[in-house]
Amino acid sequence: MSPNWSPFSYIVTNLARFIRPNEITFSGVNSTMPMLACLMAKNAYDWDFVYINVAGGVDPRPSTIPISSSDPALAEHTASIFDNEDFYDLCCRGRMDLTFLGAAQIDGEGNANNSVIGNWHQPKVRLPGGGGGAVMLPTARRSCTWRTEHSPRTFVEQLHFRTSWGGFHGVVTPIAVFIKKDNRLALQSWHPESSLEEVKARTGFAFEHADAKPTELPTEREIAALAALDPERAFEHDAAVTLR
């Protein structure tokens, strides 16, 4: 295991690196890693941004870091309270710069399946559905996602069902970071303990990788900011993310 990157810190930190100065950024339901990424970015970087979360908080200062990304603690000391319709409206008006949204399956164009695994009429697994992602993925200026598993059953040539259209701008897994180029996901970098060959073998679609290289190591400030949020590594142990 790398002393610089664990699979968990790799995902959280590289999600934080998608955030840009002065942008409005949103994290949703069941999004603990993006929640941590947003809170981490507030302390790891010299610039600021507006952080809105599904609990309704706007730039909150929670007294404790909750396990749930919907916990009311994420509305403590908030600048204002947003209802669900408020951030959907903000997104549809083109004012949401970055959203973090989950996905069960992702194809080469970055589209998402959150509906079924298998045939729609007789699925192997019935998933939660699109929820806010069906609105936000097509309307936010950029959307990013993460997967704790990197395999051909997650990164597929063809989705079993297209829940959300529009395509993710970025995707982070325990071994790789993808970004959108020419309407397809392209490899930006890979975990230093992985390789280009491993990423290819574990991805079900072809991708461009001419400019890809090993991911830059975390800075001291990134390491310290994440450690302050998870000093006992409870989130990391709960996530149980591995490279394999």
Residue 121 CB burial class (10 angstroms; 0-12, 13-18, ≥19) = exposed
The answer to whether residues 170 and 142 touch, using CB atoms and an 8 Å cutoff, is yes
Give the mean pLDDT of 210-235: 96
* Nearest Cα to Cα of residue 199 among 187, 185, 217, 181: 187
pLDDT tens, residue by residue, 106-128:
999 999 999 999 999 998 999 98
pLDDT tens, residue by residue, 141-156:
999 999 999 999 999 9
Task: For residues 103 and 174, give the distance between their C-alpha atoms in angstroms, rounded to a whole number.
Answer: 15
pLDDT tens, residue by residue, 177-195:
999 999 999 999 999 999 9
pLDDT reading at 215 higher than 70:
yes
Share of the chain above pLDDT 70, in %: 99
Q: Which domains does the chain have, with CATH numbers?
A: 7-239 (3.40.1080.10)
pLDDT reading at 21 higher than 70:
yes
What's the predicted TM-score (pTM) here? Answer: 0.95
* Nearest Cα to Cα of residue 51 among 39, 62, 63: 39
Identify the pLDDT of residue 2: 59
Residue 81 gets which letter from DSSP? B
Q: Provide the mean pLDDT of the chain.
A: 93
pLDDT tens, residue by residue, 156-169:
999 999 998 888 99
The answer to whether residues 124 and 85 touch, using CB atoms and an 8 Å cutoff, is no
Identify the pLDDT of residue 3: 67
Identify the pLDDT of residue 37: 97
Model confidence band, residue 231 (pLDDT cutoffs 50, 70, 90): very high
> Strand 116-118 vs strand 123-126: parallel, antiparallel, or unpaired?
antiparallel
Identify the pLDDT of residue 43: 96
Identify the pLDDT of residue 87: 87
Task: For residues 2 and 204, give the distance between their C-alpha atoms in angstroms, rounded to a whole number.
Answer: 26
Residues whose CB falls within 8 Å of the CB of residue 204, separated by 6 or more in sequence, listed in order: 152, 153, 154, 155, 156, 157
Crossing angle for the helix pair 7-16 and 32-44, nearest 10 degrees? 60
Residue 226 CB burial class (10 angstroms; 0-12, 13-18, ≥19) = buried
Model confidence band, residue 176 (pLDDT cutoffs 50, 70, 90): very high
Identify the pLDDT of residue 167: 85
